[in-house]
Chain A
Amino acid sequence: MDVAFQLRDLVEAIIKGEAEAAVVIAHSLLQQDIPCESIIENGLTEALRFLDTKCTNEEFNLLEIMLAGRAMVSVLDEVIAPRLLFNPPLSSNKTIVIGTIKGDIHDLGKQIVRTLFRARGFRVIDIGKDVEPVDFVRVAIIEGASYIGVSSLLTLNIPFIREIKRILRNEGVNNIKVIAGGAAIQQARPEDLDVDYIAKDAFDALHYLNRDLKE
């Protein structure tokens, strides 16, 4: 089958969340000597673009994004990573530390962010849930991160989110930006949380990072 058709089928399988089909197609493309970079750019990234458009038009939901994310991770883990000898296919050398803030154990949204950011070439360090503000800062400094992504579903934890910037300032660090996301804090403003940006969703966060990297 024509490679262009197969790439289109790969995009479609990912969008529909058909992980097994996506892996089979990606394997087939590799066997035809299509480079990993092309599979990432014309398969995974293209699928992300489509999902992004749906997201912008508010036609998406968590389930669809999760399924597409699962399919994308399957292709990355089962097809791309072994071929690249576990060298992640980075297009950017930027690192983001992500976690769910202290007092909150919801991490589904964070996992989606992790998947999408990874697929877009960021180095993502996930420090888990119920994370102390100081640990975001500590890991970000150790890992040389450019960004901290903090997630919270609960307004109750907003004081902990505010702590992150304060600790960064106390440490004299002014080159790490803080992005917040999560259901309840959508109602807040960046100044309420003392963060650089409040992302509406994972794609909005990606757009912010891309804009920021261009500046």
Chain B
Amino acid sequence: MTSFDRVMSIFTGDIPDLRPVVPQIFGFTARLNGYRVNQYVTDGKVLADSQLRTRREMGYDILYAFADLLVEAEAVGCKLHYNEDAYPHLLAPVLQDLDSLEDLPLPNPEKDGRMPVLIEAARLLRGHVRNECIIAACVVGPITLASHLMGIERFLYKLIDEPAKVNKLLDYTEKVVEIYGSELLRAGAHCLIVFDPVSSPDVIPSSYFLKFESERLKRLYKHFSFLGSPISWISIAGPTQRIIPHYKESGINLATIDYEVSISEALSLSKGIVINGNLKPYDFVSDNPEDIKEKTEACLREAEGRGSFIIGTGCEIPLEARPDNIMAFVQASRGLQ
């Protein structure tokens, strides 16, 4: 069975040959292979090479065409600061007020910012593995992109003070995500993960997720499914118990949860969608392989017999993680000594 089939078996109800293992592993792969993180986020060849080599060494079941959460924001005009061996960060938001929204362009994914880098990465990964392994590309949710464009503090205040204008901004960010996501799928990604940290109930009330974001996600996932994506994947960290029951109506069929939600609780709330999680990412830095093995086994015991579960991490494995911990996680997940 290929990695692709192994992951898809969880959706179809078939019995996999091995338990599928899907951690979130991005810039770490660069460091493991002697690249600087800056090279990884700006060069599609480096990104693809890092992803392919690390998966080959560790043996998990996923490849990512993903750099960082600021690709869309940069493509429409936000300035970033690039760090030599860390992810870039936002220097300044591009949108000073909601009235200047009309000045913002829609991106051309073939030439704007680093969108071409990620598109090249998706194309290279697909060329290498074809349909042997799922290639997940990543976009940010409309709310998260809006917060990057305005600055999160100003955006959150506007959400309360000028909701009608914020909705226009979200119409725009939804379109940006649709354009970019569509191009990633055309380039070879099998599916898209929507990362949406600002939709976390840690940041906005769950009612705001339903009011401002879930319909937009539904439209996006419908569009991406139409383009052939078999998986509609969301990744929101934090205490997501109140929004998980609404994922299914947004068209989501795979949700990554972090350690703030127990696996059994997520499976009970999720109405049959597949749950992915939820080892603590920082444990891969601070623990040793024996601890990781125990925690992985505890996760698996919690999900035992409940079907719709793929073991993984609740969020990105940190850049400074110990490689032997990741190896221990994969081996324990597979049931190997």
**For residue A213, which residues in chain B have a CB less than 8 angstroms away from its CB?**
none
Contact B282 A62 (CB under 8 A): no
| Binding site secondary structure of chain A | helix
Min CB distance B60 to A, Å, is: 21
Whether B160 and A62, one on each chain, are in contact in the complex, defined by CB atoms closer than 8 angstroms, is no
- Residue B165 interfacial (CB < 8 Å): no
Looking at A23-31, A79-87, A103-111, A118-126, the stretch in contact with chain B turns out to be: A103-111
Q: Which of B7-15, B151-159, B173-181 contacts A (4 or more CB under 8 A)?
A: B151-159
Q: Are A62 and B86 neighbours in the complex by a CB distance under 8 Å? A: no
Q: Which of B113-121, B200-208, B292-300, B304-312 contacts A (4 or more CB under 8 A)?
A: B200-208
Q: How far is the CB of B36 from chain A (nearest CB, A)?
A: 13
Tell me whether B156 and A66 are in contact (CB under 8 A): yes
- Taking CB atoms, residues of chain A closer than 8 Å to B218 are none
Given A155-B285, A192-B286, are A187 and B160 also a contact pair (CB < 8 Å)? no
On whether the beta carbons of B86 and A103 are closer than 8 Å, the reply is yes
Q: Does A58 contact B (CB under 8 A)?
A: yes
User: Within the complex, what minimum Cβ distance (angstroms) separates A58 from chain B?
Assistant: 6
Mask: chain B, 62-100; 1 = CB below 8 Å from A; 0 = not: 000000000000000000000100100110000000000
Do residues A61 and B320 form an inter-chain contact, with CB atoms below 8 A?
no
Contacting residues, chain A, for B156 (C-beta < 8 A): 62-63, 66
Kindly state the separation between the CA atoms of A72 and B42 in the bound complex, as whole angstroms.
Answer: 43
Q: Which residues of B contact A207 (CB under 8 A)?
A: none
Q: Is A34 on the interface with B (CB-CB < 8 A)?
A: no
Cβ-based interface call for A8 (8 A): no
Number of interface residues of B (CB under 8 A): 27
CA distance A108 to B286 in the complex (A): 27
Q: Is the CB of B320 within 8 A of A155?
A: yes
* Given known A-B contacts A103-B86, A192-B286, A64 and B205 have beta carbons under 8 A apart: yes
B152, A187: Cβ atoms closer than 8 Å? no
Q: How far is the CB of A180 from chain B (nearest CB, A)?
A: 13
Contact A105 B208, beta carbon cutoff 8 Å:
no
B322 at the interface (CB under 8 A from A): no
| Contact pattern, A 131-173, Cβ under 8 Å of B = 1, otherwise 0 | 0000000000000000000000001101000000000000000
Judged by a CB distance under 8 angstroms, whether A70 is at the interface is yes
Name A156's contact: one of B204, B280, B286, B318 (CB within 8 Å): B318
Measured between beta carbons, the chain A residues less than 8 angstroms from B282 are 155, 184-185, 187-188
Residues in A neighbouring B43, C-beta threshold 8 A: none
Residues of B within 8 A of A187 (CB): 259, 280-283, 286
Q: How far is the CB of A162 from chain B (nearest CB, A)?
A: 12
B319 within 8 A of A: yes
Which residues of chain A are within 8 angstroms of B230 by Cβ–Cβ distance? Answer: none
Check A49 for interface membership: any CB of B closer than 8 A.
no
- Assuming the A-B contacts A17-B160, A63-B156, A67-B160, are A105 and B89 also in contact, with contact meaning beta carbons closer than 8 angstroms in the complex? yes
* Chain A 166-206 residues near chain B, CB threshold 8 A: 183-185, 187-189, 192
Q: A103-B83, A156-B318 are in contact. Are A63 and B205 (CB under 8 A)?
A: yes
Q: Which residues of A contact B (CB under 8 A)?
A: 17, 58, 61-64, 66-67, 70, 103-105, 108, 111, 155-156, 158, 183-185, 187-189, 192
Q: Top 9 nearest A-B pairs by Cβ distance?
A: A187-B282, A155-B318, A62-B203, A63-B204, A187-B280, A63-B156, A108-B153, A105-B89, A61-B205
Q: Which residues of B contact A (CB under 8 A)?
A: 83, 86, 89-90, 152-153, 156-157, 159-160, 201-205, 208, 239, 259, 280-283, 285-286, 318-320
